Structure 1
Amino acid sequence: MADVDADSRQNVLLLLTDQERYDASTPGDPPVETPGSDRLSDEGIRFTNAVTPISICTSARASLLTGRFPHRHGMLNNCHEPDSLQPNLPKGIRTFSEALADAGYDLTYTGKWHTGRDQTPEDFGFSYLGGSDVHHDDIDEAFREYREKRGTPVDDVELEDQLYTGNDPRDGDDGTFVAATTPVDVEETRAYFLAERTIDTIEAHADDDRDGPFFHRTDFYGPHHPYVVPEPYASLYDPDDIERPDSYAETYDGKPRVHENYLAYRGVDGFDWGLWAEAIAKYWGFITLIDHQLERIFDALDAHGLTDETVVVHTSDHGDFAGSHRQFNKGPIMYDDTYRIPLQVRWPDVVDSGVTSDVPVHLHDLAATFLEIADVSVPEAFDSRSLLPLLENGGDLPADTEWATSTFSQYHGDEFGLYSQRMVRTKRYKYVYNGPDIDELYDLAADPAELQNLIDHPEYDDVRRDMRTRLANWMDETEDPNRVWVTGVLEDAS
């Protein structure tokens, strides 16, 4: 690490949402109120081509922590399930958080973890401030105790307007919980609680005479399903006013068979538009609820004089179908609905205000970015590129900077079973390799809804060859264990 004055280094505040779509916080449609995200975009930079390396919680979060693609850290599916291929990060893999802690940063963490069945944030340099839940982590009882004190125990609440997958959308006996209205006050939601813990941390750093800067991470439990929100958010969006996304016209003609199979597997093959609109309205309400908590956090930074010395990052681990292509949740379906993610960065006096960048970037590029902000060397094992050249240059690449013109993503399966996929994406095109089925090629400019698979279209022969070459190169450069035979298949098929 270079010699630096610890007090001169920037604080970093990472606000990670869970399963938030890219388009929810972009200007225009859909009409979701996101004042916190809008403020970050107005006062900083918004990335328009940020993707997750993998659309499943544990794997994406492990990539963010380690700066590596999933096949390089080994957590290929969710750690809490009995079929987890690797429930914890292997020992010896360096994380950005451990490097920051060694460099004198005060690291704190609140909210969802889901990056190790037997590990916690405290195993990676953080002080954990509470807010987990049983399904994902069961690290502590902080939120339950908070609700007990407020007189609304978590288990005693009777939800309203409940929606489930399966044969009877109002009966949860054989379906997955999708959405509901909760009668509790906003102040009793987990989103509000996590914002409170974050504000407490901001206040502590403002009041204490500490030697080092802070890195704080808040992981919200949403807008991941079940979309359970209180008023006024539960009725903020009228289902009758929600327009069907273009991808709702999906026929699955010429698509991998697993796409249509997933409708039945997720239990939504019988959902009509009325049910989807009801679910989407709650999903949007959940987004706005969380976004209002971002506003509270930003106001706290202002009130305590920490805005100018704090880099703020908002992003998500991956997106959510929320009815697009008539799909629920996520899975072995590599559309932008789940792979394209929001990413906004505010850094006063460094990042220009109100700019956008269309340079392709990955979620786990943040690992190297955080280290470079702290003037800490980036481990050679990272597959992560620091975003500083973009942050310092108005979102554009400096002329002398080498940067890949595509992104690389993958999928290895969840509780549905193992299903190996690889994806390469440029600003214009997307190619998906599906080992056991037909591959996919989409022209994102002509067909942003990704309805037409062009893999066999003769006018796209050159594009197909180029994208296959790009994908093979990514697999080779990242030492993807599937590269030995997959790259041969891609080359032979070109």
Structure 2
Amino acid sequence: MKKKYNILFIITDQQRKDTLGCYDNELIRTPHIDKLAAEGIQFNKAYCESPICMPSRATLHTGKKAIHHGVTHHNDSMRPDEQTIAHVLAEKGYVTKCIGKMHLTSQQHRGREESIADWRDGVYKEWQGPYYGYQTADLILGHSNSLVGHYGNWLREHYPEARHRFVVENMEKLPVSSGQGVYNNDIPESLHSSSFVGDRTVKFLQDMKESGKPFFCFASFPDPHWPIMPPKAYYEMYDDVAMPPQAPDNGEADKHNYPRQFGMLKRDKKNAYDGGGHYVNDQTEIEAIMRPYWGAVSWIDVQVGKMLQTLKELEMEEDTIVIFTTDHGEYMGAHGMMAKGGFVWEELINVPLIIRCPDLIPAGQRTDALFSFIDVVPTLLDLLEVAPSTLAPDGVSQKSVLTGDREMLRDRLTVTHFGKGDASMNPDIHSLITPEWKLNYYAGDDNGELYNLKEDPQEMNNLYHDPGLESLQRELIRKLLDELILVKDKSYEHRIKDADRYGKHAMHYEEWKSELEGV
């Protein structure tokens, strides 16, 4: 009888790749994720397909490019009948469970399971799933919101007196002008959203050991996304550590071969792209924000350690594929930018990706093979020897790279950052990435970006329109067009645009006072 492997899929939100020790950061403390990398394969050149939360998460579940699953912006929702890897595995007898932040549907609009307004009205008070193929769900909505979702219900039922600690008026806000909120707080570690994800995942693993059934568990941390608010000990963990320098602002706004978006965003401070990316030039502020951001990552590492230790204690290590990644990166001061959106620098699109399964994947591998998020679903299904069934993924299985049989499968991949509104001012940005080169094509603009990533990993020297590289630039544009044309016929559009009532990620007293006052 064929052995059935489990999957534990661990994902964070908006995490820079270089915030892990295994990715050459000698200052940060992430021993458990580092150990996971040493015991499996670690990708240096893994890329999200679209660098915004919801498009990226939909791709990780379907294996499709954003233009196919239809989620291209922050408030879009995946269509209700979209098939995911969880559907496929549930049909094959797997127990499927999601824990934490999913963000597959808009939190701003009623009628879907992640609607904050509907949760406030009690619509989903008794709901535990199913959700896009997951038989049961334990959702966290917003970012560390203590009043809605399964996390909020748990706090309301068991720790009602603690809910006020999550309101920003009861925290100490870091006095900086950039970013989207950094708060020192007295939230008990055991009640933090990252602890909720860690503890619920551990409990699920224990239940699965008793049942003896194969499982697919999606454990999703809302952190280190804004607002940055790890527990106090982790907020202060790096207070005495000198933060490493970031790729500097290169004055692109005033250079002739850069697209006009650089001037709009960096000089004129206008950004109509998702993510709230904005210009910052105060190095002291950047370092002050980076310290608690690192602390949030270290706190996540503690939770990952609990999960991995549980697998070991339950003797499930050999039978479980563990994958660790994030949905996209974060500028965190690089190139004079903060948050995400507006550009496609490596800090935003090049993400950590670690996969371990002692039975299937040789330990100690670190590879420069190109890996796109559209490859995640076909690769995992291939490892399980499960056919895609109702799925039609755009990616390819990279099982042969994981097993060490092939050094590289891809010679290129694409990334798309979708604009909003007036396309002449906020065009879609299409990137083509090869082992050596990166081309960023701005629709409707005569200028673009071209970097030699091997010689210029910080993307300081834009070679677009370089007379000596005309032939190379034309060839890369041709390959990019091939990629876009080949996928055009399968496009599906499902967009919901509306005012974002809950656009402030942190909880403010005026918005939540009725619940906080005991309703």
TM bracket (short chain): 0.7 to 0.9
Q: 1:460 aligns with which of 452, 464, 469?
A: 469
TM-score between the two structures when normalised by the length of structure 1: 0.85
Aligned length: 454
Aligned pair partner of 2:417 in 402, 411, 436 = 411
Which of 73, 87, 95 is matched with 2:84 structurally?
95
Correspondence for 1:428: 436
- The one-letter code sitting in structure 2 at the alignment partner of 1:466 is E
- Tell me which residue corresponds to 2:481: 472
Corresponding residue for 1:70? 66
Change (3 A) 1:225 1:153: same
Q: Name the SS for the 1:284 alignment partner.
A: helix
Instruction: Kindly report which structure 2 residues correspond to 1:10-29, keeping only aligned pairs within 5 A, or say none.
Output: 10-25=5-20, 26-29=22-25
Residue 46 (structure 1) aligned with residue 47 (structure 2): no
Paired with 1:163 and 1:65, the residues of 2 have a C-alpha distance of 38
8 Å CA contact 1:57, 1:114 repeated in 2: yes
Q: In structure 2, which of residues 90, 99, 103 is the aligned counterpart of residue 114 of structure 1?
A: 103
Q: TM-score, normalised by structure 2?
A: 0.81
SS at match of 2:97: strand
> Residue 98 of structure 1 contacts residue 124 of structure 1 at CA under 8 Å; is this kept in 2?
yes
Give the Å deviation of 1:283. 1.1
| 1:119 to partner: Cα distance | 4.7
The question of whether the paired residues in 1 share the 8 Å contact of 2:176 and 2:285 is answered with: no
8 Å Cα contact 1:46/1:357 also seen in 2: yes
Q: Shift in Å at residue 447 of structure 1?
A: 1.4
Is residue 160 of structure 1 aligned with residue 175 of structure 2?
no
Going from structure 1 to structure 2, the CA distance change for 1:183 and 1:261 (only over 3 Å counts) comes to: farther
CA RMSD of superposed structures (Å): 2.6
- Which residues of structure 1 form unaligned runs of 5+? 80-85, 167-175, 398-402, 483-494
Q: Which moved more, 1:265-274 or 1:12-21?
A: 265-274
Q: Which residue of 2 aligns with 1:123?
A: 131
Counterpart position of 2:451: 442
Larger mean CA deviation between 277-286 and 230-239 belongs to 230-239
* Partner of residue 488, structure 1: none
8 Å Cα contact 2:375/2:395 also seen in 1: yes
Change (3 A) 1:246 1:239: farther
SS at match of 1:476: helix
2:296 aligned partner: 286
For the residues of structure 2 that align with 1:260 and 1:144, how far apart are their CA atoms? 45
> How far apart are 1:106 and its partner, in Å?
0.5
1:331–1:414 contact (8 Å) kept in structure 2: no
Aligned residues of 1:239 and 1:277 also touching (Cα < 8 A): no
Give yes or no for contact 1:18–1:318 (8 Å, CA) kept in 2.
yes
Cα distance in 1 between the residues matched to 2:300 and 2:155: 18
Distance 2:30 2:422 in 1: 33
Tell me the secondary structure at the aligned position of residue 440 of structure 2: strand
Q: 1:154 to 1:133 in 2, by over 3 A?
A: farther
User: Structure 1 residue 204 and structure 2 residue 207: aligned?
Assistant: yes
Q: Deviations over 1:187-235 (max 9, x none)?
A: 2210011100000001101123x4x300001010011111111232112
Question: Alpha-carbon deviations, 1:295-338, whole Å to 9, x = none?
Answer: 11101111111111111000111101111111111112011111
Classify 1:367/1:358 alpha carbon distance in 2 versus 1 (closer, same or farther; 3 Å): same
Q: Structure 1 95/267 Cα, relative in aligned 2: closer, same or farther at 3 Å?
A: closer
Looking at structure 1, the residues matched to 429 and 489 of structure 2 have their Cα atoms a distance apart, in angstroms, of: 12
Counterparts of 2:308 and 2:422 in 1: how far apart (Å)? Answer: 40
Structure 1 Cα separation of the partners of residues 243 and 421 of structure 2: 31
Residue 189 (1) aligns with residue 179 (2)? no
- Supply the distance in 1 between the matched residues of 2:262 and 2:489 (Cα, whole angstroms): 25
SS in 1 for 2:418: strand
**Residue 46 of structure 2 contacts residue 352 of structure 2 at CA under 8 Å; is this kept in 1?**
yes
Deviation at 1:116, TM superposition (A): 1.3
Question: Quick one: distance in 2 between partners of 1:47 and 1:161?
Answer: 36
Which whole-Å CA distance do the structure 2 matches of 1:163 and 1:302 have between them?
43
**Given that residues 250 and 451 in structure 1 are in contact (C-alpha distance below 8 angstroms), is that contact kept between their aligned partners in structure 2?**
no
Separation in 2, partners of 1:153, 1:381: 45
Question: 1:426-466: per-residue Cα shift (whole Å, max 9, x none)?
Answer: 12110011013321101112211112211011222232123
- Where in structure 2 are the equivalents of 1:213-292 lying within 5 Å? 213-238=214-239, 241-252=242-253, 253=255, 254-263=257-266, 264-265=269-270, 266=276, 269=279, 271-292=281-302
Matches within 5 A, 1:317-332: 317-332=327-342
CA distance in 2, matches of 1:87, 1:136: 21
What's 2:393 paired with? Answer: 382
Q: 1:9-51: per-residue Cα shift (whole Å, max 9, x none)?
A: 1010000111111222244236322212211111000011100
Aligned-pair distance for 1:280? 0.9
Match of 2:307 among 273, 297, 302: 297
Partner of 2:516: none
Contact (CA 8 Å) 1:44, 1:353: kept in 2 or not? Answer: yes
The aligned amino acid for 1:262 is: L
8 Å CA contact 1:143–1:193 kept in 2: the answer is no
Per-residue deviation, residues 83-141 of structure 1 (Å, max 9, x unmatched): xxx433263x3321111111111000100011113256723221334241247999724
Aligned residue in 1 for 2:180: 177
User: 1:366 is matched with which residue?
Assistant: 376
CA separation of 1:432/1:267 partners in 2, compared to 1, >3 Å: closer, same or farther?
A: closer
